[in-house]
Structure formats: C-alpha cells, structure tokens
C-alpha cells in the first residue's frame, strides 16, 4: 500500500475498504457527497435503493463504490449497469475502472457502435461488471453472450429515462432475464409519477433517498431566457457568444439536422464548434467527446444525446438553442454546467409562442428564470400565456416549496429582477454580471 496516499477517512467511516479507499485517494475524493453518504451504506448492506440527487453530485460513485466493494473477484458477471446513451455508458465505465483500480475486477462495455465480435470476445473473458445500453445488452442476451446466473446488482442510471416509453420494453425484458436473487439500484436526478411507480415494481422494499431537497437545479447556475423569433436565433446566438465569450459551451438543438446545420453555420462564422448526435458513427462521437473533454473544442453543438449524465469539467455555458419539449430534459441539459460546486450559465432561446414550455420548466425547478434582454439585439415578446401559478396566485400558495428568493410576490420579483438574480448568486458571481443583462420587463409583458 502506498503510504503516501492519504486514505479518505470519511469514506472509511461509511464502511469502504482499503483497496477502494486507495483508489478514491488517487481520484482525489476526500469526502463523500450527500448522495454518496446516503446511498453507499444501504447498498453495502444489501438493500435495494432508489436514489434521487441533482445531476453532477456524484451519483456514479455513489452506486459504483458499494457495487465494486461487494463483487467477488473469483466469481463471474455480478453487476450490470445500464445507461440511456453510449456516451454516458463510456463515462460510467471509466469511473468504475478507476474505482476498482486496486481490485482484480474486469469491467467491460456493452453498447452499440463498437465491434460486435470484439465485444463478444470480451464477454467471453468473464467480466465482473458490464456497463451498457439496453439495445446492445438485449442483443448480447439473445446471442447467449450474457450469463446472469451470478448477477448480484442491476443498476439503472437515469432511471426515469430508462423507464420511459422508449426503453421500457427493453428494460422489462432485460431485468426479467435475471433469475438470480439480486439487488436493484436505481438513480436519477428527476423521478416522478408513473415512472416512479413503475420503478418501484422492480424493487423489493427499497430505501428511498432524495437529496435534491425539492430543488432540481443548483443555485450556482445562473439561468436566463431570451425571447426570440426562430429566424433570428442564429443572430442572437452570435450576440451571446460574442458577449459571453464562453470558455466551454454546449449548445443544444432538438434535432440531428438542427445540430448539423448549426455547427456548419458556426463554423462559417469562424467559431471552433463540433457537432455530436446520433447520425455520427460511434468512433466520431467518441473523438468529438474526447476533444471537448480536453477543452480542445470550445463549443459542442449537441442533441439530447449529450444532455444526461455527461460529466465534462469546466463547462461554463449551456445554450438551449431549441427549447426541449420536456421540462425534465431542461434540468438535465443545464446540469452539464456548474458541476460539483462550480458555477455556470444557462441561456434558453424561447420562441414567442413557447411561454407554456417555460412555465412548465419553472414549475418543475421551483424557480423563476430571469429574462435576458440584449443590448444591441432586438428581442421579441412572449404571447400572453395563462400563468395560473405565477400570475394569479401568490407564490406561497403554490404546491411546491420555493427557495427563499421566491418569497417575494411575483410583481415585486418582476420589478427587481436583476436584484433577484444577483442576490441568488454567490457574491463573486454577482460581481461578474455583464452588461448583457439589463432590467427585466414586468412578467406579464413577456
Ligand atoms: P457524477 O454526478 O457521478 O457525474 O459526478 C460528477 C463529478 O464529481 C465527477 O467528475 C466525479 O468524478 C466527481 N466526484 C464524485 N464524487 C466525488 C467526491 N466525493 N469528491 C470529489 N469529486 C467527486
């Protein structure tokens, strides 16, 4: 054992053993994050767990540490971790490999876009842990390349996405294929209603954890929206990029075509921007991600393939060039910035008829998003929307719990919007506010 390594005592107190403590020391983890503190003990003790925590708060290690600790190196496949995208699977795999650096565990990927025969060969080498996406896992199951007889852990990352309509059937078949008695661990940043009920059906008396305290987004993200006609979005984006000079940004589009087109336009305008979406071959996707991770590309134009779980340090800006249809997707997108205590900015381009989309998001995050007005850029107004919660009823009557900043009546908040935003931010962030942001108009004029 390397005596130089200062083993993280706070993790030892949770019951983590030396080989993993050594790995955590190498990774620079000193203290567990709240979700790790809550989730590690019940998983170690054999319970099923449903864990909810904000994105970027250490969920991967929260399940990865106890799973790695409870795997028998002498045994065969004991843990399957499923994620909705290949990018997230690759990232989770990388982190698990770091966690079990000092254990003799073999972790392999099972996701599409990579050589099928090579993957079958890898699976033949008796991995202890697989990390994959549902499609390829199903494929491998049907080829008889996966044996769940010794499986102890089934983990679903981003469980709400995994159980929504697109993946639901696959997950049912995959989880239904496990005969061995096992633990089920589901984690997500967002989890509500029917999907949560469905998740519960796969679990046995689960420990339910929610460390997001009803606040889905962190206060370190400054959230703003701008109202803009679709045909003026690119001009607005130019304006924002010039004003903000983001060090590292993701610009989200709704479609692959949109991402391709926007990347081309940005390129033509002289920005170093690359696109990532499902039409790119896997090798290219990985290369782009790798370059972005290393900060070699400052702007990534992405579809929602990059909205969940992707952990790249130093992302300063998220731009929702196209608003997502789903409010939860918004939470995941902006969660790519301000990770593990850093700060960031999220700017959303809202079409004049998308007031309702914005309202849904504000309802979900329990926060009012400030309007970004642009000096030198002509802005549009939102067509009036029925705003049952924010317009006609004081916030205190709202069914959701609001942060302290939201206690002011809506009119007051609208009248002092910049104070609200600055007051929300850490002092150094407030000091950094740029002239790009000017006083908000009253809310009903959006
Ligand atoms: P995740 O939410 O799992 O994507 O993790 C977000 C980032 O936090 C990743 O870069 C992790 O490596 C890092 N991280 C997770 N847990 C800790 C910890 N206890 N101490 C320091 N960094 C951590």
- The token pair that represents 215 in the structure block: 């606040």
Residue 435 lies in a domain: no
Q: Above 80 in pLDDT, residue 286?
A: yes
Which helix (H) or strand (E) element contains residue 230?
A: none
Closest CA relative to residue 252, chosen from 169, 175, 315, 160: 315
Q: Above 90 in pLDDT, residue 142?
A: yes
Which of 277-291, 382-396, 411-425 has the largest mean confidence? 277-291
Residue 185 lies in a domain: yes
Four-residue CA torsion sign, 109, 114, 120, 122: negative
Q: Which atom of ligand 1 is nearest to the CA of 31?
A: 19
Mean pLDDT of 270-279: 94
CA of 56 to the centre of ligand 1 (A): 7
Mean pLDDT of 50-75: 93
Q: Which residues pair with 209 in a beta bridge?
A: 51
Q: Which atom of ligand 1 is nearest to the CA of 30?
A: 20
From 153, 182, 210, give the residue that closes a domain.
210
DSSP character at residue 305? G
Mean pLDDT of 119-131: 95
Q: Give the confidence band of 408 by pLDDT, cuts at 50, 70, 90.
A: very low
Q: Give the confidence band of 411 by pLDDT, cuts at 50, 70, 90.
A: very low
Mean pLDDT of 300-306: 94
What's the CA gap between 174 and 157, in Å, rounded?
Answer: 14
Angle (CA) 70-75-78 rounded to 5° is 55
- Which residue is listed with tokens 């199951």? 141
CA contacts within 13 A on the Cβ side of 68:
30
257 in the same domain as 178: no
DSSP character at residue 276? E
Q: Above 90 in pLDDT, residue 292?
A: yes
Cβ neighbors of 181 (< 8 A, separation 6 or more) are none
Q: Give the confidence band of 416 by pLDDT, cuts at 50, 70, 90.
A: very low
Residue 423 lies in a domain: no
Four-residue CA torsion sign, 114, 335, 24, 14: negative
Mean pLDDT for the chain?
A: 83
274 — phi, psi (to 5°)?
A: -125, 155
Helix residue spans in 250-354 (DSSP H): 256-268, 282-293, 327-334
From 182, 210, 238, give the residue that closes a domain.
210
Mean pLDDT of 168-183: 95
Q: Give the confidence band of 366 by pLDDT, cuts at 50, 70, 90.
A: confident
Q: Above 80 in pLDDT, residue 319?
A: yes
Residue 350 lies in a domain: yes
Q: Give the confidence band of 114 by pLDDT, cuts at 50, 70, 90.
A: confident
* Closest residue by CA, ligand 1 atom 20: 29
141 in the same domain as 67: yes
160 in the same domain as 115: yes
pLDDT of residue 424: 29
Cβ neighbors of 154 (< 8 A, separation 6 or more) are 79, 80, 82, 175, 178, 182, 183, 184, 185
284 in the same domain as 160: no
Residue 348 lies in a domain: yes
What's the CA gap between 61 and 24, in Å, rounded?
Answer: 10
pLDDT of residue 399: 24
pLDDT of residue 440: 30
For residue 399, give its domain range. Answer: 221-412
Helix residue spans in 29-115 (DSSP H): 34-44, 59-69, 86-99
What's the CA gap between 439 and 446, in Å, rounded?
Answer: 13
Q: What is the dihedral of CA 123, 125, 130, 136, to 10 degrees?
A: -10
* Closest residue by CA, ligand 1 atom 5: 58
CA of 340 to the centre of ligand 1 (A): 7
Please answer whether residues 144 and 94 qualify as being in contact, where contact means their C-beta atoms are separated by less than 8 angstroms.
Answer: no
Four-residue CA torsion sign, 309, 312, 313, 319: negative
Q: With a 6 A CB cut-off, is 314 part of the ligand 1 pocket?
A: no
**Spatial strand order in the sheet of 79-82:** 107-110, 129-132, 79-82, 153-157, 183-188, 49-52, 207-210
3-state SS assignment for residue 189: coil
The CATH number of whichever domain residue 33 belongs to comes to 3.40.50.300
203 in the same domain as 86: yes
Please answer whether residues 121 and 142 qualify as being in contact, where contact means their C-beta atoms are separated by less than 8 angstroms.
Answer: no
pLDDT of residue 355: 87
Cα distances (Å, whole numbers) of residue 130 to 24, 28, 44, 68, 232:
21, 25, 19, 12, 46
pLDDT of residue 368: 87
271 in the same domain as 152: no
188 in the same domain as 130: yes
Q: Which of 163-172, 187-196, 246-255, 310-319 has the least mean pLDDT?
A: 187-196
CA of 33 to the centre of ligand 1 (A): 8
Q: Above 90 in pLDDT, residue 235?
A: yes
Q: With a 6 A CB cut-off, is 32 part of the ligand 1 pocket?
A: yes
Q: Which of 13-17, 81-85, 416-420, 442-446 has the least mean pLDDT?
A: 416-420
* Closest residue by CA, ligand 1 atom 14: 58
Domain count for the chain: 2
CA of 210 to the centre of ligand 1 (A): 17
140 vs 402: which has the higher pLDDT: 140
Q: Which residues pair with 223 in a beta bridge?
A: 346
pLDDT of residue 2: 47
pLDDT (tens digit, 9 = 90+) per residue, 327-347? 989 999 998 887 766 789 999
203 in the same domain as 73: yes
Closest CA relative to residue 226, chosen from 351, 336, 344: 351
298 in the same domain as 177: no
3-state SS assignment for residue 261: helix
- The token pair that represents 338 in the structure block: 């301000």
Q: Above 90 in pLDDT, residue 25?
A: yes
pLDDT of residue 402: 21
What's the CA gap between 369 and 327, in Å, rounded?
Answer: 13
177 in the same domain as 227: no
Q: Which atom of ligand 1 is nearest to the CA of 28?
A: 21
Mean pLDDT of 397-404: 25
CA of 25 to the centre of ligand 1 (A): 13
Please answer whether residues 282 and 119 qualify as being in contact, where contact means their C-beta atoms are separated by less than 8 angstroms.
Answer: no
From 167, 188, 210, give the residue that closes a domain.
210
Helix residue spans in 104-192 (DSSP H): 116-124, 134-142, 159-162, 165-176
- 209-243 CB burial, b ≥16 within 10 A, e <16: bebbeeebbbbbbbbbbbbbeeeebbebbebbbeb
Residue 340 lies in a domain: yes
Residue 360 lies in a domain: yes
Residue 51 lies in a domain: yes
225 in the same domain as 198: no
Four-residue CA torsion sign, 68, 73, 78, 84: positive
DSSP character at residue 399? S
Mean pLDDT of 112-125: 90
DSSP character at residue 245? -
Which of 295-299, 336-340, 353-357 has the largest mean confidence? 295-299
Percent of the chain with pLDDT over 70: 81
Q: Give the confidence band of 430 by pLDDT, cuts at 50, 70, 90.
A: very low
């Amino acid at each position: 054992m390397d005596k130089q390594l200062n083993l993280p005592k706070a993790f030892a107190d949770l019951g983590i053993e030396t080989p993993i403590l050594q790995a955590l020391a190498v990774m620079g983890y000193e203290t567990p994050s709240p979700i790790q503190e809550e989730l590690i003990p019940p998983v170690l003790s054999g319970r099923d767990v449903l864990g909810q925590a904000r994105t970027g708060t250490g969920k991967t290690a929260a399940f990865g540490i106890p799973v790695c600790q409870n795997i028998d190196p002498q045994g065969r496949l004991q843990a399957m971790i499923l994620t909705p995208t290949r990018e997230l699977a690759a990232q989770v795999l990388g982190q698990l490999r770091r966690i079990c650096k000092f254990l003799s565990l073999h972790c392999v990927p099972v996701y599409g876009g990579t050589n099928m025969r090579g993957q079958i060969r890898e699976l033949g080498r008796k991995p202890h842990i697989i990390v994959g996406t549902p499609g390829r896992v199903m494929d491998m199951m049907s080829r008889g390349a996966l044996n769940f007889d010794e499986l102890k852990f089934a983990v679903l990352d981003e469980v709400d996405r995994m159980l929504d309509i697109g993946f639901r059937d696959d997950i049912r078949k995959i989880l239904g294929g496990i005969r061995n008695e096992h633990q089920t661990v589901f984690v997500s940043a967002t989890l509500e209603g029917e999907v949560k009920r469905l998740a519960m059906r796969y679990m046995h008396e689960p420990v339910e954890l929610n460390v997001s305290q009803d606040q889905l987004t962190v206060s370190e993200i400054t959230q703003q929206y701008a109202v803009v006609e679709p045909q003026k979005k690119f001009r607005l984006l130019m304006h924002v990029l010039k004003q903000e000079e983001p060090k590292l940004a993701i610009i989200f589009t709704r479609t692959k075509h949109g991402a391709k087109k926007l990347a081309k336009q940005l390129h033509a305008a002289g920005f170093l921007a690359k696109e990532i979406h499902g039409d790119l071959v896997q090798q290219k996707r990985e290369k782009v991600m790798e370059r972005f991770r290393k900060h070699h590309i400052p702007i990534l134009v992405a579809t929602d393939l990059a909205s969940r779980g992707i952990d790249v340090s130093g992302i300063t800006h998220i731009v929702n060039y196209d608003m997502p249809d789903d409010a939860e997707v918004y939470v995941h997108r902006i969660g790519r910035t301000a990770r593990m205590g850093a700060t960031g900015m999220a700017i959303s381009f809202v079409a004049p008829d998308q007031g309702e989309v914005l309202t849904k998001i504000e309802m979900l995050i329990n926060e009012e998003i400030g309007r970004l007005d642009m000096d030198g850029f002509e802005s549009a107004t939102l067509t009036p929307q029925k705003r049952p919660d924010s317009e006609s009823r004081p916030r205190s009557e709202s069914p959701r719990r609001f942060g302290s900043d939201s206690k002011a009546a809506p009119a007051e908040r609208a009248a002092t919007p910049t104070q609200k935003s600055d007051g929300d931010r850490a002092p150094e962030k407030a000091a950094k506010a740029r002239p790009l942001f000017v006083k908000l108009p009253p809310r009903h004029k959006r």
